[in-house]
Amino acid sequence: MTMKMIGLISDTHGWLDPQVHEVFKGASHIIHAGDIGKEEVIHELEQIAPVVVVKGNIDGGDLRFFPLEATLEIGPTTIVTRHIAGSPTRPNADTRKLLQRVSPQVIVVGHSHIFAVARVMGALWLNPGAAGIHGFHIERTAMRLFVHEDSGELKLERVSLGPRIAQP
């Protein structure tokens, strides 16, 4: 039984918590669902595992060249990523089109800073919340998604990175 761990993170806004190295240790991939803030965040994540990344609404400069959507396939499981997707109860038009076009098993989104797990149009909707220190969220969070390479079975872990505090 081969399970692959995928680290899910979003809304770092230019700051990566040092504990992310341990949290995502052993990951086969990391998905960053946008609002990266600084290119260094991606370089640091790449020291842990290959990174799939989409740009967020704050990502300018060289970060503007990242795509709006990305796809990762692990065995029979297709995972798509967008930054701005609406909410699980009201996905926006672009997200609905993406879900219809690709029919993924999982969609990873960001932007709202709100941790969410739901079912939308047949896909598991995952928002890892915000891992950075900027925003209105009280707790910084991430996720670990475990995908069985053969069966596509999914398991999920919520990761608390602690309270949102001023940058050290």
Task: Write out pLDDT tens, residues 1-50.
Answer: 689 999 999 999 999 999 999 999 999 999 999 999 999 999 999 999 99
pLDDT of residue 1: 60
pLDDT-based confidence at residue 163 (cuts at 50, 70, 90): confident
**pLDDT greater than 70 at residue 167:** no
**pLDDT greater than 70 at residue 166:** no
Q: State the Cα–Cα distance between residues 7 and 130, nearest whole angstrom.
A: 13
Average pLDDT over all residues of the chain: 95
pLDDT-based confidence at residue 148 (cuts at 50, 70, 90): very high
pLDDT of residue 168: 53
Query: Which letter, b or e, does each residue of 36-46 get, where b requires 16 or more Cβ atoms within 10 Å of its Cβ?
Result: bbbeebbebbe
Q: State the Cα–Cα distance between residues 24 and 32, nearest whole angstrom.
A: 12
| CATH level 3 topology of 3-163 | Purple Acid Phosphatase; chain A, domain 2 (3.60.21)
Q: Which of 92, 114, 148 is nearest to 33 (CA)?
A: 114
Assessment of whether the complete model's pTM goes beyond 0.85? yes
Average pLDDT of the segment spanning 57-73: 96
pLDDT of residue 66: 97
